[in-house]
C-alpha cells in the first residue's frame, strides 16, 4: 500500500515539473518576445509601455494551473497544489526570461543598460523633491553601479514577485475539492 502511494506521489510530482517547465518556458518566451516587439517598435523596455505585458505570465499561470488540476490531479486542486504549480511555473518563466534578457542586452544591444541608466536617472530627477541629498546620491550610485547581469536579475525578480502575487489569486480561484463519493 505504501509503495503505491509513493509511486502515485512521484508521478504527480513529475507531472507538476513537466507542466511547470512547459508553461513556464512558453511564458518566459512570450514575455521576451513582447519585449522584443517593444524594442523593435522603439518603445522603452523600462517605461509605462512595458506594463502592457503584465497579462502574459498571468495567462500562462492560469493555463498551467488549469491543466495541472484537470489532467494531473483528476479535476481537484487544493490551494497548496495551486501554489506549487504557480510557483514552479513562475520560477521557470523568470529564469528563462532573465537569461534571455541578459543575452539580449549583451549580444544584441549593448546600449540597453545605458538606456536603463538614463531613464532611471531621469525618473530619479523627477522625484528629487521627495528625497534628501544623501538618499539622492545613494540612489544615483546604485544606478551607476548597475551591470547587465544585475539589471537582468532585477527585471526577472520583479516578474517573479508579480507571478507569486498572481499565483496566490489564481490558486484561490481554481481551488476545487475532489468530488465526494456517495454510498447508496
User: Would residue 169 count as lying in a domain?
Assistant: yes
User: Would residue 180 count as lying in a domain?
Assistant: no
Q: In Å, what is the CA distance from 15 to each residue of 21, 127, 154, 167?
A: 10, 48, 30, 18
List the grid coordinates of 100. 534571455
User: Would residue 182 count as lying in a domain?
Assistant: no
pTM here is 0.82
| Tally of domains in the chain | 1
User: Would residue 179 count as lying in a domain?
Assistant: no
CA 38, distance to chain mean position in Å, is: 18
CA 30, distance to chain mean position in Å, is: 11
pLDDT of res. 56: 94
Quick one: the chain helix, strand, coil %, rounded to 5? 80, 0, 15
User: Would residue 184 count as lying in a domain?
Assistant: no
User: Would residue 82 count as lying in a domain?
Assistant: yes
Are the C-beta atoms of residues 21 and 29 closer than 8 Å to each other?
Answer: no
List the grid coordinates of 122. 531621469
Are the C-beta atoms of residues 169 and 157 closer than 8 Å to each other?
Answer: no
User: Would residue 34 count as lying in a domain?
Assistant: yes
Which of the 8 DSSP states describes residue 47? S
Are the C-beta atoms of residues 32 and 38 closer than 8 Å to each other?
Answer: no
Which residue pairs from 146-154 have beta carbons closer than 8 angstroms and sit at least 24 positions apart in sequence?
A: 146/113, 146/116, 146/117, 146/120, 147/113, 148/102, 148/105, 148/106, 148/112, 148/113, 149/102, 151/101, 151/105, 151/112, 151/113, 151/116, 152/98, 152/99, 152/101, 152/102, 152/105, 153/98
Reading the chain (184 residues) residue by residue, the pLDDT tens digits are: 444 444 344 445 568 999 999 999 999 999 999 999 999 998 888 877 788 888 999 999 999 999 999 998 888 899 999 999 999 999 999 999 999 999 999 999 888 888 888 888 888 888 777 777 788 888 888 888 899 999 999 999 999 999 999 999 999 999 888 777 776 6
Give residue 15's domain range: 2-173
Amino acid at each position: 500500500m505504501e509503495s503505491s502511494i509513493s509511486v502515485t506521489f512521484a508521478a504527480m510530482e513529475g507531472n507538476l515539473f513537466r507542466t511547470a517547465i512547459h508553461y513556464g518556458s512558453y511564458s518566459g518566451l512570450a514575455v521576451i518576445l513582447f519585449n522584443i516587439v517593444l524594442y523593435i517598435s522603439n518603445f522603452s523596455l523600462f517605461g509605462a509601455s512595458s506594463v502592457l505585458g503584465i497579462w502574459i505570465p498571468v495567462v500562462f499561470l492560469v493555463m498551467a494551473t488549469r491543466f495541472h488540476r484537470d489532467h494531473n490531479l483528476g479535476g481537484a486542486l487544493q490551494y497548496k497544489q495551486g501554489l506549487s504549480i504557480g510557483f514552479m511555473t513562475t520560477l521557470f518563466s523568470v529564469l528563462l526570461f532573465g537569461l534571455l534578457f541578459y543575452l539580449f542586452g549583451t549580444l544584441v544591444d549593448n546600449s540597453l543598460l545605458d538606456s536603463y541608466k538614463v531613464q532611471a536617472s531621469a525618473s530619479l530627477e523627477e522625484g528629487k523633491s521627495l528625497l534628501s541629498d544623501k538618499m539622492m546620491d545613494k540612489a544615483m550610485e546604485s544606478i551607476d553601479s548597475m551591470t547587465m547581469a544585475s539589471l537582468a536579475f532585477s527585471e526577472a525578480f520583479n516578474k517573479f514577485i508579480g507571478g507569486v502575487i498572481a499565483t496566490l489569486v489564481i490558486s484561490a480561484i481554481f481551488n476545487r475539492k475532489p468530488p465526494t463519493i456517495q454510498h447508496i
